[in-house]
Amino acid sequence: MAEIISVKLGEKVASQLRDEIIAGILAPGTALRLSALAERLGVSTTPIREALATLERQGLVNAQPRRGFRVAAIDARDIRDIYEAHAFISRILTERASRRLSEEDLDELERLDQRVREATEANDVSLAGDLNYELHRKIHLAGGSPVLLRFLRETTPFVSRRDDPDVPGWAQQRLEGHGAILRALRERNAPLAAEEMGNHIRRSGQLAHDFAEGQYSATSS
């Protein structure tokens, strides 16, 4: 049980640090000290090590012999590229999902979207992020392509934010961004549903790019 809890905590820490790196809060080159991170995040060094190992595999941190970990040199363009890749795959899955989702599935998606809006209006960023992730996940699963889902999962950790800081403009995206997608799915308009999904993800990516660019500029000045 302790091992399972540790792994889950390591994933949570990785998610928070990933959000901070992608947002530019942790600038490229920043040293990531185990003890300092453990104290700041209120955990032991074990989940910190697990989180840093995950982030190293994802290319967000670099391990240096006898010098620990540092944030990798990524820039705002890299972030936009990740969203473009995510949008491309999500478009295909959404188009296929439009022919596979039942009316009951669509009802559930609309209920999820309502909960996303309610959490956003309550300024509960974590809950809104979790619900938003679940809404997209259900659509992607309905696309019925395990191969594409595997590729999509590679980018999902980079585009699914569940912790502060919330990207400026994302709250409005959560309030307005799913309506057109769900309407197109309800109408079984596969090309339109795919287009709306791609546009939705690209808009989020542009906001994330602009936010990160501002953060990177501030830390380098």
Decide if pLDDT at 70 tops 90: yes
- pLDDT at res. 3: 37
Decide if pLDDT at 215 tops 80: no
Decide if pLDDT at 165 tops 90: no
Distance, CA of 1 to CA of 186 (rounded, Å)? 43
Radius of gyration of the chain (CA): 18
What digits encode the pLDDT tens for the residues 86-124? 999 999 999 999 999 999 999 999 999 999 999 999 988
The strand pairing partners of 32, in sequence order, are: 69
Decide if pLDDT at 173 tops 60: yes
Tokens 């820039």 — which residue?
Answer: 75
Q: Do 30 and 177 contact (CB within 8 A), yes or no?
A: no
- pLDDT at res. 214: 78
- pLDDT at res. 176: 85
- pLDDT at res. 6: 41
Domains within the chain, CATH numbers bracketed:
2-71 (1.10.10.10), 76-220 (1.20.120.530)
Decide if pLDDT at 1 tops 80: no
- pLDDT at res. 192: 98
Decide if pLDDT at 130 tops 80: yes
Mean pLDDT value across the chain: 87
pTM of the predicted protein model:
0.80
Decide if pLDDT at 4 tops 50: no
Band (pLDDT 50/70/90 cuts) for residue 154 is: confident
- β-sheet with 61-64: strand ranges across: 31-32, 68-71, 61-64
Nearest in space to 153 (alpha carbons), one of 140, 166, 163: 140
The arithmetic mean of pLDDT across residues 40-49, rounded, is: 94
